[in-house]
Structure 1
Amino acid sequence: MTPDDLLSFARRIFAAQPFSSYLGAELRSVGPGRAEITLALRPELTQQHGFAHGGVISYLADNALTFAGGLALGGDALTSEYKLNYLRPARGLSLLARAETLSVGKRQAVCRCIVLACDDRGDETACAAAQGTIIRAVP
């Protein structure tokens, strides 16, 4: 696949995700075995202390891992499993999930992701780290 084909394919899949649209997430960039998803951090996505809700961070990590793995596998994919470590509370203007593939086989890929909190100066602070196994979707 050419880079343009890859981007078009990824955008089609992302646009078909109602939950991503509901949250206001955006597919920022993709490449062979990598993906970035961003999300503006609005008050309704925070918990009682004003930090990003853990479920929002988990969503970003899961989706970015799956996009990175799916693109490495050459098609539509699903998360088989993932582990998430919260590193520090996330606060700022937006969140950015940056995922890459570590290993790819015929049916599965192992990927890692860092979720960053971005402030108004453009500074990024790591707030979570994830690793997961992504499998090809069966038609």
Structure 2
Amino acid sequence: MSDLLEFGRKILKNQPFSALLGTELEVFEPGSAVLSLAIRPELKQQHGFVHGGVVSYLADNALTYAGGSVLGDSVTSEYKINYVRPAIGDKLVARATVLSSGRNQAVCQCSVIAIGEAGERTVAVAQGTINKVESGK
């Protein structure tokens, strides 16, 4: 396991909400990140698919991990998400990459995939701006 992946998993472990949801960091390397979580009944809404807030959280966190992979300690400045189909399956996977980065900011994109009996299906796409956290502020 790479030092960066090990570091990223340590950060994820210290995020109480991520721990509550059971999120896992699968990939964390310069310019990209992959986060996943098992779909459980308590993450679903009344129609039987994963609540949009859970899908959005996963995209947001993956975007920030991708940006942080090139910027260091970072937070989301803004992001937009498009839900393209209901999230149905056994597992959600968010794959994020850096589109462009500078010294203090990165623009990243993410696809959220549901994996289940039907195979892999894109359920949402997101794009966001990630900002480096300046120490002491």
Return the alpha-carbon distance in structure 1 between the equivalents of residues 85 and 13 of structure 2. 30
**Letter matched to residue 49 of structure 2:** F
Return the alpha-carbon distance in structure 1 between the equivalents of residues 38 and 7 of structure 2. 24
What does residue 90 of structure 1 align with? 87
* Pairs within 5 Å for 1:29-44: 29-44=27-42
Return the alpha-carbon distance in structure 2 between the equivalents of residues 80 and 136 of structure 1. 9
Return the alpha-carbon distance in structure 2 between the equivalents of residues 65 and 55 of structure 1. 15
CA deviations on 1:7-57 (whole Å, 9 max, x unpaired) are 122112111111000011111111101001101000100000001100000
What RMSD over aligned residues (CA atoms) do the two structures have, in Å? 1.2
Match of 2:128 among 119, 125, 132: 132
How many aligned positions are there?
135
Structure 2 residue matching 1:85: 3-state secondary structure: strand
Return the alpha-carbon distance in structure 1 between the equivalents of residues 55 and 84 of structure 2. 11
What does residue 81 of structure 1 align with? 78
Post-superposition offset of 1:114:
0.1
Post-superposition offset of 1:76:
1.1
Q: Percent identity?
A: 59
TM-score w.r.t. the length of structure 2 is 0.95
Post-superposition offset of 1:133:
0.2
* Pairs within 5 Å for 1:10-49: 10-49=8-47
Return the alpha-carbon distance in structure 1 between the equivalents of residues 29 and 79 of structure 2. 21
Post-superposition offset of 1:113:
0.2
* Pairs within 5 Å for 1:114-133: 114-120=111-117, 123-133=119-129
Residue 106 of structure 2 corresponds to residue 109 of structure 1 = yes
**Letter matched to residue 109 of structure 2:** R
Post-superposition offset of 1:138:
2.3
Q: Return 5+ residue gaps in structure 1 as ranges.
A: none
Return the alpha-carbon distance in structure 2 between the equivalents of residues 20 and 5 of structure 1. 21
**Letter matched to residue 129 of structure 1:** V
Q: Which runs of 4+ in 1 moved over 2 A?
A: none
